Amino acid sequence: MKKSSIFTIVFLGFLLSAANVSAAAVGKPSATATVASQADAGAKSNGLVNAEQKLTEAKLRICQNKQNAIQQRSNQLLEMARNMLNKFDRIASRVEQYYTNNVASSGKTVSNYDALLAEISAKKSAIQTDLDKAASSAKAFNCASDNPKGQLNQFRTDMRAAKSDLIEYRIAIKNLIVAIRSVVGATQSSPSVQNNQ
């Protein structure tokens, strides 16, 4: 009986010690479990990094494919704005010539003529400044830069400013024309040709 009781005590002691070890293991992860979980987390984060890298590489390829088209469109917008500026300049110079050759020579004057010319000149210089800024933004665009989207937004902002300045320039020229027309007076329209039937 002594042997069986010793065996029972040893067996129960072994079971209790095994239970303590497993209870402690529940509270703390084992070294192999910790290494395995870190490897899983590293693989997941590495997978996320790879996915993000692939996404940015795909965006870069798309941007590079469109880069020439974007630059060409930017240059076309700049050229269109410059053409509009040149047309407005020609109109303004013709109005000035008309005033000096026809209106001022006949003795009629516009009281605020110099102020209107100064306004036209100021609007023209504002357009030139905005177009120069837009041109530098267009030239600076590169898909390999840190923020190509920001560069496009800057170009868009510069072109909006140039567009609003062109509108103000046109209004300033129109104000000069209206002032000259008010001094000259309304022209008489030619009588219409009547059909003899």
Given this model, what pLDDT does residue 196 score? 47
Residues 130, 161: contact at Cβ < 8 Å? Answer: yes
Tell me the one-letter amino acid at 72: Q
- Tell me whether residue 173 is exposed, middle or buried, using C-beta atoms within 10 angstroms of its C-beta: 0 to 12, 13 to 18, 19 or more: buried
| Percentage, residues of the chain above pLDDT 90 | 38
DSSP notation for 92-158: HHHHHHHIIIIIGGGT---TTHHHHHHHHHHHHHHHHHHHHHHHHHHHH--TTSS-HHHHHHHHHHH
When pLDDT is cut at 50, 70 and 90, the band that residue 95 belongs to is: very high
> What are the chain's domains?
68-184 (1.20.120)
